[in-house]
Amino acid sequence: MRLAVVAVLVHVVAAVCSAQGTAGDLALYESQRIVDMPTAGVLPRGGIELRAIVFDGGGITTEAMVSPLSRVQVGLGYSGSGIVGTSDVRWQGLPSLLLRWRFLDETLTLPALAIGVETLGRGEVSSDRFATAAPGVYIAASKQFRWWLGGCALHAGVGYGLDLRFNGSDVNAWVGAEQALGRSMALGVEINPQSVERTRPLLVNVAARWSVLRGATLEFYVRDVLARTASQPRRWVGIECIALLSQLLW
């Protein structure tokens, strides 16, 4: 009996350690974001992605994405504050658009390039704007490398902000890096000034990701590490699930 229990535990641990989502050297899918901001990664054709993030104030951000064509994905996002807890629930209003097309795949010398539209920001909504503005209309670049620590990716992007009711007008730029930590974990660091046209608090965000099951990745966020927008950094948690439509149908 004890040997059977040990065998089951070993099997479960082995399955978890070899599970792959978007994190680690054996990731099945490309990462969609550095932390908040988009990369040039896209879903495989026929892929679907669901993500939920729980943030401070009992808020929840959700995303749903599908890739109907190769290198093209489209989806919707929605969020609200006070959903968890006893506070009044405050919804963002109209759903947000998530659209991405990678027009250039990565080569040995060139990064992958993608353009897109994202009107989904991060954090609480106030006065028709997110706490962290949405990327808006953007172009993103991603380049992968490999060194003695394992797989690494560098990301950068420029966006023209469009928040909720399309009243944003800031040009933003962001950079970041993603480092694999073994087979199924990764660490992402992102620098986001929020605007290149006016003075705003510089955001330095960190995300640790762990692929716990095939296509499922747990995400742990430490946002605003330098505490520029609050007295201390904010800790969020999320989960990302990616699968192929053919797997779900069959």
pLDDT tens, 42-89?
A: 999 999 999 999 998 899 999 999 999 999 999 999 999 999 888 889
**Burial of 108: CB neighbours in 10 Å, binned 0-12, 13-18, 19+:** exposed
Output the average pLDDT for the chain. Answer: 87
pLDDT digits (tens, 9 = 90+) for 120-151: 999 888 777 788 889 999 999 999 999 988 99
Is residue 202 pLDDT above 50, yes or no?
yes
| Cβ-contact 4, 11 below 8 angstroms | no
pLDDT class of 11 with cuts at 50, 70, 90: very low
pLDDT digits (tens, 9 = 90+) for 145-195: 999 889 999 999 999 987 655 445 688 999 999 999 999 999 999 999 988
Structure tokens given for 15? 């399955």
> Measured in whole angstroms, how far is the alpha carbon of residue 121 from the centre of its chain?
11
Please give the residue that has the higher pLDDT: either 250 or 127: 127
Of 79, 52, 75, nearest to 65 (Cα)?
75
Q: Where in the chain are the domains?
A: 2-249
Please give the residue that has the higher pLDDT: either 17 or 67: 67
Write the CB contacts of 138 (distance below 8 Å, at least 6 apart in sequence): 38, 115, 116, 117, 118, 157, 158, 159, 160
What integer pLDDT is reported at residue 24 of this predicted model?
Answer: 86
Of 28, 58, 18, nearest to 240 (Cα)?
28
Q: Which pTM value belongs to this model?
A: 0.86
How many Cβ atoms from other residues are within 10 Å of residue 196's Cβ?
Answer: 11
pLDDT class of 19 with cuts at 50, 70, 90: very low
d(CA 204, CA 210): 20
> Measured in whole angstroms, how far is the alpha carbon of residue 204 from the centre of its chain?
15
Is residue 10 pLDDT above 50, yes or no?
no
Is residue 36 pLDDT above 50, yes or no?
yes
d(CA 132, CA 183): 31
At the top level of CATH, the class of 2-249 is: mainly beta
